[in-house]
Amino acid sequence: MADTTTTSSDYLEKFKSYLKNPKGFILAAEIGLCLIINICYAASVHHVISYVAIGGMITAIIFFCVYMMELDKKFQRISWVWTDLFRTVIDAAWFIIESLYLMIRWPGYGAWVAGSVFSLIAGLVFAYDAYTVSLQIKSTRQNSDTAALTDAKV
């Protein structure tokens, strides 16, 4: 029988090593920016709850855990790369739209403006993440096309 016990130090080591990975760093930045946005909106005069930031943070945490614990390799029925691309494109669009709307529409309260600026930065980080995921999809397709051509010639 296999030993399936895992200690908390194993998860801590996985966490530390995944943060050094570029994808892990981007996901951690997304989570941190969403948390800062929520704090800024909570401290504003109007006490706005940003559902965009909450949703973005929850989805980034889910994907961080999936990739950190390598669940994407265990559950292969889900196309994790395409799901991640869909998530990042939607979140980037929502953050950019929300930040521009709040910068144009509302008066310049300090926490409100800070939340709007961080929301724009988060939109750009999500857009960069979408770009890196699309490059990953493109390289995977090129590799599979090359392999198909090689198999056809043999």
Q: What is the mean pLDDT of residues 48-63?
A: 88
| The predicted structure's pLDDT at residue 86 | 96
Q: For residues 96 and 69, what is the distance between their CA atoms, to the nearest angstrom?
A: 30
Where would I find the H helices in 7-79? 8-20, 22-43, 51-68, 71-74
Q: Sign of dihedral through CA atoms 57, 58, 61, 66?
A: negative
| The predicted structure's pLDDT at residue 70 | 87
| The predicted structure's pLDDT at residue 150 | 58
Query: One-letter amino acid identity for 14?
Result: K
Buried b (16+ CB within 10 A) or exposed e, 49-63: ebebbeebbebbeeb
pLDDT averaged over every residue in the chain:
85
pLDDT digits (tens, 9 = 90+) for 3-31: 566 677 787 888 888 888 899 999 999 99
Q: For residues 34 and 54, what is the distance between their CA atoms, to the nearest angstrom?
A: 7
Q: Is 87 exposed, middle or buried (0-12, 13-18, 19+ CB in 10 A)?
A: buried
**Look-up of token digits 């401290």:** 43
Q: What is the mean pLDDT of residues 80-99?
A: 93
